[in-house]
């Protein structure tokens, strides 16, 4: 895949995981299984390609499961992760020009 999409050996990817609409009741359901699977995929197969992993629109209660899960992640993966609360896209804008982001993330694209 990388040979076709981004063949340069130093190419990097930024992953966005949007938790908008996730409730505490979803934490053990398919939504969290998806987040876990995506994080594991990035960690196991794309750690060197991963520049940053943003968890966007994290609800206030997300801090509790994050404290439990984050120590289980590889330290390099954990360093790349940014947990952003609802509507907080400032850190994201440091890595991605808002001109190319959808409006839902404070960008200019439709």
Query: Which CATH class for the 11-105 domain?
Result: alpha beta
> What is the pTM assigned to this prediction?
0.81
> For 52-108, how does the pLDDT look when each residue is reduced to its tens digit (9 = 90+)?
999 999 999 989 888 988 898 889 889 999 999 999 999 999 999 999 999 999 999
pLDDT band at 1 (very low <50, low <70, confident <90, very high): low
DSSP string, 3-48: HHH--STT--EEEEEE-TT--GGGTTSHHHHHHHHHHHHHHHHSTT
Residue 102 DSSP class: B
Distance CA 106, CA 83 (A): 16
């Amino acid at each position: 895949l990388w040979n076709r999409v981004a063949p340069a050996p130093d190419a990097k990817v930024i992953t966005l995981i949007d938790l908008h609409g996730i409730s505490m009741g979803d934490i053990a359901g398919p939504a969290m299984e998806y987040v876990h699977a995506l994080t594991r995929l990035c960690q196991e197969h794309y750690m060197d390609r991963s520049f940053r992993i943003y968890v966007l629109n994290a609800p206030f209660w997300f801090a509790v499961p994050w404290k439990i899960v984050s120590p289980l992640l590889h330290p390099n993966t954990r360093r790349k992760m940014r947990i952003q609360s609802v509507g907080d896209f400032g850190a994201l804008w440091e890595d991605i020009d808002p001109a190319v982001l959808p409006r839902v993330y404070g960008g200019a694209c439709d």
